[in-house]
């Protein structure tokens, strides 16, 4: 009995899928179990009474929880948008003027090699209002010092800037690989037809790069949602709750402060659902965009 190509692919993927399912499914289903029960780590003697959707109702009535979703949206949207624009510009410049400068690519990806914990600690010190090098440079230039992590707006800006500094290189690498695999024929034809550089970029380069762009954005959105490390180290979600993201809120409410692990599980599941919906909408939009372009 011979297997066709598709069946062979699935057969080769099967061991990895089994391992992945064994790792991810048990905690996922346990989170569902917790979310529909009332489990309080500080009061284990109360048992685990079934409460249905009460935890989810509480979430949508909790202003702090809703604020954490808003903060997460602002952070993720800002970080990914800025990283994509900068990454596209840098990749275009490298591909146009420095296509063989491997040293430049190595230099750009250095921030990616640092653990997020290290990045958060280093930048927290650099942004310190008293001993930080950032304020030292501002004062050297005749500008006033800024308490970066004590002001709600500047704290949010600081977190976004640090993430952009570290992860723009990821977008650069993917788009640069995409640029280097583009066929030359459409560009030669456009040059013969007298198309401007902007028209070539808009109607040829971007449509041909669309699959790479989708992959880059999807991966960055998923990764940007996991901002616990940097946010917790730099601001602890503060000042107040101005930079408190969903994962920080779930940590505080479920483990650090209240021990309401069931409520934290409900928050995490809602965030997972929102992420899946957003990624699905984005993929459908990208498919429609590709059909319209062609």
108 in any annotated domain: yes
Q: Which residue has the tokens 């992590």?
A: 149
49 in any annotated domain: no
209 in any annotated domain: yes
Chain segment 206-238, per-residue pLDDT in tens: 888 888 898 899 899 989 988 889 999 999 998
8 in any annotated domain: no
**Binning pLDDT at 50, 70 and 90, where does residue 45 land?**
low
Evaluate if residue 113 carries a pLDDT over 60.
Answer: yes
Range in 65-69, 117-121, 210-214 the model is least confident about: 210-214
**pLDDT for the residue 59:** 93
The C-alpha atoms of residue 191 and residue 197 are separated, in whole angstroms, by: 9
65 in any annotated domain: no
- Looking at the structure of the chain, the number of domains it has is 1
**pLDDT for the residue 238:** 86
Evaluate if residue 127 carries a pLDDT over 70.
Answer: yes
Statement: the pTM of the whole predicted model exceeds 0.85: yes
Evaluate if residue 159 carries a pLDDT over 70.
Answer: yes
**pLDDT for the residue 3:** 53
Evaluate if residue 2 carries a pLDDT over 80.
Answer: no
3 in any annotated domain: no
**pLDDT for the residue 293:** 58
CATH number, domain of 96, equals 1.10.3720.10
Q: What are phi and psi of 37, to 5 degrees?
A: -125, 170
DSSP the chain: ----HHHHHHHHHHHHHHHHHHHHHHHHHHHHHHHTB--BTT-GGG---B-TTHHHHHHHH-HHHHHHHHHHHHHHHHHHHHHHHHHHHHHHHHHHH-TT-HHHHHHHHGGGGS-HHHHHHHHHHHT-TTT-HHHHHHHHTTPPP--TTTSHHHHHHHHHHHHHHHHHHHHHHHHHHHHTTS-SHHHHHHHHTT--HHHHIIIIIHHHHHHHHHHHHHHHHHHHT--HHHHHHHTTT-STTTT--HHHHHHIIIIISS-BHHHHHHHHHHHHHHHHHHHHHHHHHHHHHHHHH-
Q: Which residue range is the domain that position 264 belongs to? A: 71-293
266 in any annotated domain: yes
Q: What are phi and psi of 2, to 5 degrees?
A: -105, 140
9 in any annotated domain: no
pLDDT mean over 86-99: 90
Range in 46-55, 61-70, 253-262, 280-289 the model is least confident about: 280-289
């Amino acid at each position: 009995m011979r297997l066709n190509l598709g069946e062979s692919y699935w057969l080769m993927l099967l061991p990895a899928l089994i391992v992945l399912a064994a790792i991810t499914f048990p905690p996922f289903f346990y989170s569902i179990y917790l979310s529909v029960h009332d489990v309080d780590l500080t009061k284990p003697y109360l048992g685990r009474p079934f409460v249905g959707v009460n935890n989810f109702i509480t979430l949508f009535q909790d202003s702090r929880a809703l604020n954490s979703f808003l903060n997460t949206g602002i952070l993720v949207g800002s970080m990914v948008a800025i990283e994509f624009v900068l990454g596209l510009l840098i990749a275009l410049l490298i591909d146009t003027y420095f296509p063989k400068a491997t040293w430049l690519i190595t230099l750009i990806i250095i921030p990616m090699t640092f653990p997020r914990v290290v990045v958060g600690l280093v930048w927290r010190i650099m942004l310190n209002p008293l001993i930080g090098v950032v304020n030292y440079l501002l004062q050297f230039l005749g500008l006033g010092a800024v308490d970066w992590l004590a002001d709600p707006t500047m704290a949010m800006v600081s977190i976004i800037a640090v993430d952009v500094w570290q992860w723009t290189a990821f977008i650069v690498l993917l788009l640069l690989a995409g640029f280097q695999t583009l066929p030359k024929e459409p560009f030669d034809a456009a040059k013969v037809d007298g198309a401007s550089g902007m028209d070539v970029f808009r109607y040829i380069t971007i449509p041909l790069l669309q699959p790479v762009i989708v992959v880059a954005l999807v991966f960055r959105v998923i990764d940007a949602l996991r901002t616990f490390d940097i946010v917790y180290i730099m601001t602890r979600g503060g000042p107040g709750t101005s930079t408190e993201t969903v994962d920080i809120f779930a940590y505080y409410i479920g483990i650090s402060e209240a021990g309401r692990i069931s409520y934290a599980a409900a928050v995490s599941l809602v965030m997972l659902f929102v992420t899946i919906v957003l990624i699905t909408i984005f993929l459908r939009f990208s498919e429609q965009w590709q059909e319209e372009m062609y």
